[in-house]
Amino acid sequence: MAKVEKPLFKKQVVMLDERLFSVDLESWKASIAAEKGRIELELLHGTYHEKFKGMKMGQDWLVEEEAAFT
C-alpha cells in the first residue's frame, strides 16, 4: 500500500498491479490505494477505449502528462 495521500510520480510513470489499482469502465473511474484510503480518478477516454469494457485489467501504467496532475 502506498504511504502517501496522493500518488507520487518519479520519472512520470507509476506501475500499478491489481491490488493497488482498480478501474470501473462503466463510469470511467479508477481507484488507487493510498495509506489513508483509496484515491478516485476520472479517466480520459474515447470511442476507441469502449472495446476494453469486457476485459479484466491486470497491470496498468499511470503516465503523467505535462500539467495533467496537480
Taking the model in full, what pTM does it have? 0.49
The structural domains of the chain, with segments of one domain joined by +, span: 13-63
Per-residue pLDDT at 7: 61
Per-residue pLDDT at 70: 46
- Residue-wise pLDDT for 17-67, tens only, equals 778 888 887 888 889 888 889 999 888 877 877 777 776 665 566 666 665
φ, ψ of residue 67 in degrees (nearest 5): 65, 15
Per-residue pLDDT at 58: 59
Between 2 and 34, name the one with better pLDDT. 34
